[in-house]
Chains A and B, each alone.
Chain A
Amino acid sequence: MILSLKWLSDYVNIDNLTVKQLADGLTMSGSKVENWRREDDGINKVVVGKILSVKPHPNADKLLVCLIDVGDREPLQVVTGAVNVKKNALTAVCLDGATLPDGTKIKSGNLRGVLSQGMLCSLSELGLSGADFPYAAENGIFLIEESCEVGQDISEAVGLDDTQIEFEITSNRPDCLCVSGLARETAATFGLPLSLQSPVVKGSDGKISDCFEAQIETNLCSRYMARMVKNVEIKPSPRWIRERLRASNIRPINNIVDITNFVMLEYGHPMHAFDADRIKGQRIVVRSANLGESIQTLDKAQHDLISDILVVCDQEKPMAVAGVIGGQDSGVSDSTKTIIFECACFDGASVRKAAKFLNIRTDSSARFEKGLNPICCENSINRACELVELLGAGEVVGGTIDVKNFQPKTKIIELNSDWINKFIGIDLSQEDMIKILNSLGFKVDGKKIEVPPFRIDIEDKADIAEEIARIYGYNKISTSIIKGQAMGGLNRRQKFEKRVNNILISLGFSEIFTYSFISPKEYDRIQLDEDSDVRKSIKIKNPLGEDTSIMRKTTLASMLNVLSHNYKNRNPLAWLYEIGKIYSQDPDNGLPEETKRITIGCYGNCDFQAIKGIIETLLDRLHVDKVEFIAASGMPFHDYRCAEVLKSGKILGKFGEVHPTVGENYKMSSRVYVAELDFDLIYDQVDENLTYESLPKFPASTRDLSLVCDEYMTSAEIEKVIRKNVGLMLENIDVFDVYRGKQIDSGKKSISYKITMRNKSRTLTDQEVDEVIDKTLKDLAEIGVCLRS
């Protein structure tokens, strides 16, 4: 909303306020000022000059040399190329050092050998157009026909001295989208008197009801009012109207159209003017459009209509899209003689739908969308007629068409000053509260507050509390600390998540954040089977694009994308993790299931043993013990470098090297390792009952065994035999070497174990240790494992 400062001052005396004070005050009472500018921003040292003489330029056919009186000094000599210069005409003259809105600087200098001490300006050079001064030539210099003085500052002379204030009005306050609304806010904010008058229409003979009637055939229009003006003379509006419109960023058109815009800006209620002679029949109908109907709108575009759209029709066809835009056919033209002013109240949601469907947003639709009260139609239509008379634009025919499709009701709210004081934390007397409410247009009778019709947002006492608080001043409310007890903090699961973060960070992984939605193509890139369950992802109905169209059911694709991004940017290594959600349909529940995943991904300085070690360390530090690793496969993993980690038969997660094809799909040629772990399953396995175990008092015995076995035998099989034989004495088994090569047979490998044994209550003897090892070796021999020679 752009507000003209001069217009505002028609209603409130703001002489004692600077623009900044005004802006700050209104912002702090709820009408946020975004910025403001003087209309003549950028125009300096441009004055009214009188052309004393015009002579040809001695050296150039197309140039003229003028002598200009600028008042306070010797006449200036100015060279111009304009053809419309006339002796004794007034024009805009740039003095030496002048600036124009587009940034141009004017200096005195020689033009083809003749001194030019300035420049004569056109309308557009001043940032104006023919709409502002219809008599002025679009090409050529601006010959001023206003009453002004030679030497006068141009902004003052042509009314470019208004200030435009831009407001950001919140959606609940459509009443502030007009000058009178902001004037009321200004008056209330600064405690100033407000002078708003009800319009008075003299009227003339005739009756509109003799010519037209109106009918509402929908519940989406709560009121339709119309008045008629005859003997209309279409011409430009007077300068003061054009100035107000221009300062409000509305282009002046002609007196009748300008009046509808002026009233909309003044009262906030959109209006429309029809050429009465173009209306077929006598009946104006508001109804839903019929399928197959179309309309050519004022912007000359042809639109096919659908039944969701409300139209204003004559007996033949739609004349206007209700609340959005008028039709070209029934619009006001230079030859219009009789007009119908329409002021109606259409349903906001319906107008929004229509504006969206037609892709036309107008000042009118924007206002209807926010919601208007049908009661306010009356003032607006009368104001338009008052202006017609004031401007001498025509004769207002008697009577008004007024079709009401609503129950006028006055909202009454009880004034409870104690509650308000307690709710806000202030101590204001009831009288002061009433004063504030009155200044905002509320009537208070005893404890009854009558809500003014334009305040569609006010519904209950909390709304009244806000009115009082904002005018009293939010910043005058004291600050206090909430009383009472509260036990805050992280819960067990949140603390667990923090621990996961800390462990992974200390292991060298950096946290990443990725989108929750991915492209369905990601499932192809990670080579998932066509019938994989993971592909059954939740789809977004209205995604931004295919890339973000499904809710991910695995986090691996997101991780691979981030790794790929880093790889592409030649980062030598990337060790990353994410704790994020996957989403899956849950037919048993209203809401889809959201499960957290711990995702780990890395390339550079990593191998399978490393990623396994990382998962082991993570689980160990989270106190998840007795986990088992088994060989696994499936995309996106390497066929022979993938494992699942299990506890008590539950799969906690899967990890391994990325399949070479998947690596290629993500444009990475180095080996990549990823893991996807189920956060909640792991959380469920945590044993938090930590107790201290006393430090051993007796020494441990260790034995190193280098064993040779078949290439495809797993270490787990060997370990199982060791565990079984060493029994309770076993403290630890560690592998310190795996060897394949010349010193052993081909098809075989050697694994070297360090076995640590201990008895808590005595020192183990060599003999008993040797016995156990011998037994172990015998059992190992049975599965084809022998000591390396």
Chain B
Amino acid sequence: MQEQILKIKNSAAQEISLCKDLEQLVSLRVKYLGKKGELSLVLKQMGKLSPGDRKRVGQLANSVRNQLENALEEKMKNIKFAHQQSKMRSERVDVTLPGKKFQIGRIHPLSRVMDEINNIFIGMGFSIVEGPEIETDHYNFEALNIPKNHPARDTQDTFYIDDELLLRTQTSPVQIRVMEKQSPPIRIISPGRVFRSDSVDSTHSPVFHQIEGLVVDKNITMADLKGTLKLFVDKLYGKDSQVKFRPHHFPFTEPSAEMDAMCFSCQGRGCSLCKQEGWIEILGCGMVHPKVLKNCGIDPEVYSGFAFGMGLERIVMRRYNIDDLRLFFENDVRFLSQF
């Protein structure tokens, strides 16, 4: 009987090793290990054996069964693996063919940089405030210490709706509206669209954008103004930026300054970007004029503040080396898709 079992084992092992497909393998299992399989048939005759033989034959049968199970299992794996391999081989792709195109939109470069600047100031505790684009003469000029016939009114050629209403030439009126409504501490930026009657060319547009900021609180000093704006430039252009403050004049700040940053392209050596000057004009700023505070009902003896403003288009043009301002408003998708 042991001989029979070993014979079954040998023939099964041989058949398994020669087997090539899964179906055949399943039938081999039935043939040898199934309920009516060869091994079972042999084992049915175990009753005839003496108890000692029965135990030995039983052990042998079990070990053979296990061996065959393992062999079947192993073979199964091999065949599956071989199948998978050949299937994948047939599925080879040319990785150099272009990828599928997915359409995703782009944020306009003006928005992109505006967001970046907004976020820098938000990080410093500023809120964002918007205001009307059609303003009154009062908010756009008078309240900002620019009375009628002031020369600054000429330099900011203004679009008028009527004698009283105009398209704002700066986002500063937002500052006035905030100061009138809110008592200090105030820490705001007002990004937005402004208008001046400049004919369109590569560096001028009747519509452009400004970002202005205002801080009013007790004990605000010019050193705070410098610190805040230096931090801003550090974040905008990278840590090691160098800035300088030049005295300037704005009707609504006193003292006033313009801030230049060392040209990030040439590190101050002079290049075409900075017109060989080594420095780039970034923004105008100053301490809020006491008269302006007073006009807004804030006591200049108790509070002081600073304000600053910058033109967005110029910053964006330098950032991306854009040489024509008109591109921003033409919105050609070949332009937009670069951002």
Contact = CB atoms under 8 A, between A and B. Distances in A.
A548 B206 contact: yes
Which among B103, B185, B226, B333 has the highest number of chain A CB atoms within 10 Å? B333
A486 B187 contact: yes
27 contacts: A27-B246, A28-B246, A29-B247, A171-B155, A348-B149, A349-B149, A423-B221, A425-B223, A463-B254, A466-B254, A474-B257, A477-B222, A486-B124, A488-B121, A504-B105, A509-B105, A510-B106, A511-B105, A511-B336, A514-B331, A562-B330, A562-B331, A571-B332, A575-B105, A577-B105, A591-B134, A591-B135
Interface in A702-729: none
Interface stretch (A210-218, A293-301, A390-398, A539-547): A539-547
A541 B221 contact: no
Interface string A402-428: 000000000000000000001111100
B249 A583 contact: no
A109 interface: no
B255 to A, nearest CB: 3
A475 interface: yes
Interface stretch (B57-65, B73-81, B159-167, B266-274): B159-167
Given A482-B217, A510-B337, A516 B133 contact: yes
Contact of A481 (B132, B228, B291): B228
Interface string A491-513: 10010000001001111111111
Given A352-B154, A425-B223, A542-B159, A488 B124 contact: yes
Which among B193, B246, B255, B291 has the highest number of chain A CB atoms within 10 Å? B255
A369 interface: yes
Contacts of B332: 565-566, 569, 571
B329 A513 contact: yes
Given A479-B223, A480-B221, A592-B134, A575 B103 contact: yes
Given A513-B331, A575-B103, A474 B247 contact: yes
Interface string B204-227: 001100000001010111111011
A539 to B, nearest CB: 7
Contacts of B200: 544
B244 interface: yes
Interface of A: 27-30, 32, 170-173, 348-349, 352, 369-370, 422-426, 460-463, 465-466, 469-470, 474-475, 477-491, 494, 501, 504-517, 538-544, 548, 551, 562, 565-566, 569, 571, 573-577, 581, 583, 590-592, 594, 605
B245 A475 contact: yes
A486 B247 contact: no
Contact of A507 (B105, B107, B289, B329): B105
A426 B331 CA distance: 49
Nearest to B104: A508
A569 B336 CA distance: 14
B127 A423 contact: no
Given A488-B127, A511-B336, A543 B159 contact: yes
B322 interface: no
The 3 A-B pairs of least Cβ separation, nearest first, read A425-B223, A486-B125, A466-B255
Nearest to B124: A488
B171 interface: no
Contacts of B256: 466
B215 A482 contact: yes
A599 B212 CA distance: 27
A466 B286 CA distance: 10
Which among A489, A539, A565, A581 has the highest number of chain B CB atoms within 10 Å? A489
B222 A482 contact: no
Nearest to B185: A484
Nearest to A591: B132
B174 to A, nearest CB: 13
B333 A501 contact: no
A425 B107 contact: no
Given A465-B254, A575-B105, A581-B133, 10 more contacts: A482-B124, A482-B224, A484-B185, A485-B185, A488-B121, A488-B124, A501-B111, A514-B331, A540-B167, A576-B333
